[in-house]
A and B are shown apart, each in its own frame.
Chain A
Amino acid sequence: MSFFKAENLAIYFGGVKAVDGVNFEINQGECFTIIGPNGAGKTTIFNLISRIYDSTEGTMTFDGQDITKVPPHAIASLGIARTFQNIELFEHASVLQNLLVGRHCHSKTRLLSELAFLPSVRKAEVAHREKVEEIIDFLDLQHYRESLIMNLPYGVRKVVELGRALCTEPRLILLDEPSSGLNVEETQDMSFWIDDIKKDLGITVLMVEHDMGLVSEVSDQVLVLNYGRMLAFGSPQDVQNDPEVIKAYLGE
C-alpha cells in the first residue's frame, strides 16, 4: 500500500489541459520530486493535492484515505502541509504568530472559552508554543522570533514558511520550489533541512524544484512533467540522461 497515490489525475481549465492523466505513487519516508519546464502543471498538482482546485478527473489517496473530495481546510489536519512558490506568509504578523497559525489545525479550544481566556486556553497556548519552539530550534530561527515578516529578507521568509508548514506536524510536506530566490549558501542549508526533515522527523517530502543540484542531492524519485503529461520517471540520474527530458528542456 503506497503512502500517497494519484491515479489518472486531471484538471482542465476550459480547453487547457493543465494536468492530464498523471499517475504517481509516493512511498513513506522518501523525497519525491516533480520537475518540468514552466507551465508543465507542477504547481497545479500541488494545488490539487491541497484541494484549492477540484480535479476534473482522477482520484488521490493519502494513507489509505480518499482525499479527492476533502474540503481544503481539512487537509492540514489529515497531515499534509505545504509551502508556496511566492511565499504566502502573514505579512503583518511576527514570525512567532505565523508559526502559531501553523498550529491551528491542532487547536481545540472553543470560541467562548477563548473570549474569557480560561485556564484551559492558556494551557493549550503554552503547549502550542512549546511545539513551535522545537521548530524554531530546528530551523535556527531564534533570532527572528519577534520580527515582523514584512521586515525580513527573502531568504529568511522562505525558512519561516517551511517552519510554518512543519508546525502543523505533517506526515507529508509539499515544498513548492524551496530554493527559488535563494543564494548558493541558503540553497545548501535548504538541502540539509530537507534531508533532516526526511530522516530525522520522518516526514515524507513531495517537492517541485528547478535546481537540479538540489534535486539530485535530496530526491529518491523524480517525475518529469511536460504540458501536463508525464514525460519520464525514475532516479535523478536516470531522468537527467533521458533523451525525452533533454528534448523538453533544451529543444531539438
Chain B
Amino acid sequence: MRFLFKTDYDQDIRIAKHSGYYWSYGLLLLIVFAAPFFLEGYYIGQMTQLYIIAMAGVGLMLLAGYTGLVSLGHAAFFGIGAYTEAVLTSNGVPLPFMDEPVVFPFFLSMPLAAIFAALAGVAIGVPVLRLTGIYLAIATFAFALVIEEILSRWESVTNGYTGLLVESLYVGDLELTDGAPFYFLCLGLLIVVLLMSINLLRSPTGRAMMAIRDSEISAQSMGVNLARVKTTAFALSAGVTGLAGALFAHKLGFLSPESFTVFQSLELLVLVVVGGIGSLHGAIFGAIFVLALPQGLAILKDYLPTSIAETPGMEPFIFGLILVLVIIFEPYGIYGRWLKIKHYFQMFPVYKKATFKRQKAYMKSERLK
C-alpha cells in the first residue's frame, strides 16, 4: 500500500501524483516509442490506426464523458476533418490573389482541418444548447446524416461516391504518411491531445464541464455560463475528432462517404462506453477494444459452424450485445474494471468486494429541470 503525504497544494495539481507514475507511464512511453523498430509493417499500421481512433475517442469523451452531452454524430466531425485535409493537401484550393490553387503543407492543413471541424461543432452545438439526453442524441444523429449527404452530393469538392484520392505527404524525401514516420506523427499528436485534455480537466473550464454533466442547475448558480461552456465543449470535441479525421484520411489514402456513416458514430460511442465513460484512460482502452473486436471475431469465425459464422449482421450484433452487457454489469467500462483490479493488488490481503458496490440513490425525485 502507498500512503501519500501531502505538504503542498501543487501535489494535487500535478499530473504525476507520485513516483509510481514516472515508472509506469515512462515504461509505456518507452514501449510505444521503441515499437516501430521491432514490429512488422502490418502491426505498425494497426498501432497507427489505434492512435487515430483513440484520438477521436478522446474527442467524444470530452463531450459525452465529461460534459454529459451524448453525441450520435461524431462521424460527421471525423468526416469533415478527413475531407478538409484531403482537399487542402491534394488538388489545392483556389484562393483570391493567387494564380494557381494553393496546396497547403501538412502543418497548416491539419490545424485547419481541426478548426473546420470545431466550427462545425459550434454550428451544431449552438442550436442544440437546450437539448439533453435522447433528444440531443437524435439531433446530432440528424446532423451526421446531413453531413453524410453533403459529402456524397457536393461532387465538385468531394467527388461524391467516386471517391477522393488523398496524396501522400513528404518532408524532403521522407514520406510522412506511411510506416514509422506516420506512426510517430500520430503518436505525437495523440500525446499532445491527451496532455491538453488533462490540462483542460484540471482547470476551471474542465471543472465547469463536469459540473454541467452532474447538475446543470447548480452549475449555473455557481456562475457557469451554460451556453458558453457547452459550446466550448462541442468545439473542442469536434476539433479533436476532426484532427483525428485528418490523420485518418492519410491512413485510408482514399476517401468516400461510406467511411463516415452512422455506423462509425456508433462505433465511437461504443468506444467511449466500453472503454469507461468519464475517463481519458477509457478512450484508449475503448480504442483498443473497437480495433481488436472485429479481428477477434474474424479469428473466431474460423472455429464456429458455418451456419452461425456466415449469418449476416453478426458483427453489429456482437457489438450491441457487448454494449448492453457493459452498461448493465460494468458501467465504468474497461477502465472501471482496471481500477478494481489495481485496487485489489494495492489492498492485497484486505480487499473487500463491497468497496465498489454501487449504491442506489433515492434523492433524485424532485430535481429541478
A107 close to B196 (CB less than 8 A): no
Residue-wise interface mask of B (216-233) relative to A, using a CB-CB cutoff of 8 A (1 in contact, 0 not): 011111111110000010
Please tell me if A67 contacts chain B, counting CB pairs below 8 Å: no
> Which residues of chain B have C-beta atoms less than 8 A from A74's C-beta?
223
A84 and B204 in contact, given A122-B13, A129-B12, A168-B223 (Cβ under 8 angstroms)? no
> Which residues of chain A have C-beta atoms less than 8 A from B199's C-beta?
114-117, 121
> Which residues of chain B have C-beta atoms less than 8 A from A47's C-beta?
368
Please tell me if A100 contacts chain B, counting CB pairs below 8 Å: yes
Bound form: Cα–Cα A72–B363 in Å: 24
B224 close to A101 (CB less than 8 A): yes
> Which residues of chain A have C-beta atoms less than 8 A from B219's C-beta?
90, 101
B13 close to A101 (CB less than 8 A): no
> Which residues of chain A have C-beta atoms less than 8 A from B213's C-beta?
90, 92
Residue-wise interface mask of B (191-214) relative to A, using a CB-CB cutoff of 8 A (1 in contact, 0 not): 000001001101111111011011
Bound form: Cα–Cα A101–B207 in Å: 6
Please tell me if B367 contacts chain A, counting CB pairs below 8 Å: yes
Interface pick from A13-21, A55-63, A75-83, A214-222:
A75-83
A88 and B210 in contact, given A117-B203, A129-B12 (Cβ under 8 angstroms)? no
Please tell me if A9 contacts chain B, counting CB pairs below 8 Å: no
Residues of A in contact, count (CB < 8 Å): 49
A82 close to B204 (CB less than 8 A): no
Residue-wise interface mask of A (119-157) relative to B, using a CB-CB cutoff of 8 A (1 in contact, 0 not): 001100110011001000000000000000011001000
CB of B194, distance to nearest CB on chain A (Å): 12
CB of B238, distance to nearest CB on chain A (Å): 15
B367 close to A88 (CB less than 8 A): yes
Please tell me if A85 contacts chain B, counting CB pairs below 8 Å: yes
Please tell me if B302 contacts chain A, counting CB pairs below 8 Å: no
Please tell me if B125 contacts chain A, counting CB pairs below 8 Å: no
Residues of B within 8 A of A (CB): 9-10, 12-13, 196, 199-200, 202-208, 210-211, 213-215, 217-226, 232, 278, 359, 361, 363-368
5 residue pairs from A and B, CB less than 8 Å apart:
A52-B220, A88-B215, A111-B205, A116-B199, A164-B218
The 7 closest A-B pairs by CB, nearest first: A105-B223, A76-B223, A88-B218, A90-B214, A114-B203, A107-B204, A117-B199
